[in-house]
């Protein structure tokens, strides 16, 4: 192990220990009901997200490839995927997917979201991320609000949002624990949020037949039905997010000239390969 890596590990432990001791000196409120919202970390500003109509998969997503709809490939971090990532854990979005100078968005649950850990079960490669994957995308009016993490945090050795801590589940858990008390009051509300539109929405699980197909771990066996399962899923669960009868992907046409989400802050948190050349194509 190199000196640099040793120093990194010791410094990370020092940060977590310091913040843990600080927590012990402060009263902690019990976490509130988080059943109706999730978080998404992004480098783009609210104005950019609004101009884009919300959150979409990459503009270059190849929807004609069945593996684009594989939840396993999505969870492994493959770039060619039909999903937008969210997490039930504020800390995961803030520490590992946003970071200093970037944004954390709080989003109402939408019915096209799938519980990744539930569907993939033991095959979920990063269960600590507690991800809900939104098939097709998330409209802007599902965003409840946002917080921009101050850039000044990046120069603070005891910051939970600097690059040194990026990838630490311990740091992410601590930030999640402190959400209601320390961070929720910092969020700016979205004037375009349409709460009525999403009342009663719930996340889909392995109990949904098409979600189970999308979460198949034997992709060779499921490949013939992945695209069909994705369209059936959206026909049943996508109307609230704008899916129309008879349409196909994308959920909406990307707005020309709008910015796309860039690479995740922590490449080590998930993979990035799109190589499925050994799988049958369709």
**What is the spatial distance between Cα 175 and Cα 169, in angstroms, rounded to a whole number?**
10
42 touches 138 (CB < 8 A): no
141 touches 197 (CB < 8 A): yes
What single DSSP character describes residue 119? H
For the chain, the first-to-last Cα distance in angstroms comes to 45
Catalytic residue at 180?
Answer: no
Which residues are paired to 55 by β-bridges?
Answer: 138
> Which of these is catalytic: 131, 184, 196, 231?
131
Structure tokens at 72: 């396993």
What is the b/e burial string over 137-164, where b = at least 16 CB atoms within 10 angstroms of the residue's CB? bbbbbbbbbbbbbeeeeeeeeebbbbeb
Phi then psi dihedrals of residue 147, to 5 deg: -140, 130
190 touches 40 (CB < 8 A): no
Structure tokens at 15: 């940060």
What is the b/e burial string over 174-204, where b = at least 16 CB atoms within 10 angstroms of the residue's CB? bbbbbbbeebeeebeebeebeeeebeebebb
Q: At what angle do helices 169-177 and 3-24 cross, to 10 degrees?
A: 20
203 touches 117 (CB < 8 A): no
Catalytic residue annotation: 131
């Amino acid at each position: 192990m190199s000196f640099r890596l040793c120093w990194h590990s010791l410094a990370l432990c020092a940060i977590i220990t310091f913040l843990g001791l600080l927590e012990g000196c402060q009263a902690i409120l019990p976490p509130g009901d988080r059943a109706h919202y999730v978080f998404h970390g992004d480098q783009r500003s609210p104005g950019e997200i609004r101009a884009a109509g919300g959150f979409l998969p990459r503009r270059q997503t190849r929807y004609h490839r069945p593996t684009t709809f594989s939840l396993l490939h999505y969870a492994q971090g493959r770039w060619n995927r039909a999903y937008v990532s969210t997490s039930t854990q504020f800390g995961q979005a803030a520490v590992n997917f946003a970071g200093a100078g970037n944004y954390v968005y709080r989003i109402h649950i939408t019915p096209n979201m799938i519980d990744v850990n539930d569907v993939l079960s033991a095959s979920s490669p990063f269960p600590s991320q507690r991800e809900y994957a939104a098939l097709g995308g998330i409209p802007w009016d599902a965003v409840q609000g946002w917080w921009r993490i101050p850039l000044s945090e990046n120069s603070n050795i005891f910051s939970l949002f600097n690059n040194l801590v990026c990838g630490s589940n311990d740091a992410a858990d601590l930030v999640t624990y402190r959400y209601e008390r320390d961070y929720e009051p910092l969020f700016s509300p979205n004037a375009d949020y349409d709460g009525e539109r999403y009342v009663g929405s719930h996340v889909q699980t392995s109990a949904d037949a098409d979600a189970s197909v999308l979460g198949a771990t034997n992709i060779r066996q499921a490949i013939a039905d992945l695209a069909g399962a994705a369209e059936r899923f959206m026909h049943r669960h996508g109307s609230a997010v704008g899916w129309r009868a008879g349409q196909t992907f994308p959920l909406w046409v990307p707005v020309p000239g709008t910015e796309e989400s860039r690479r995740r802050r922590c490449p080590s948190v998930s993979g990035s390969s799109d190589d499925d050349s050994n799988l049958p194509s369709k």
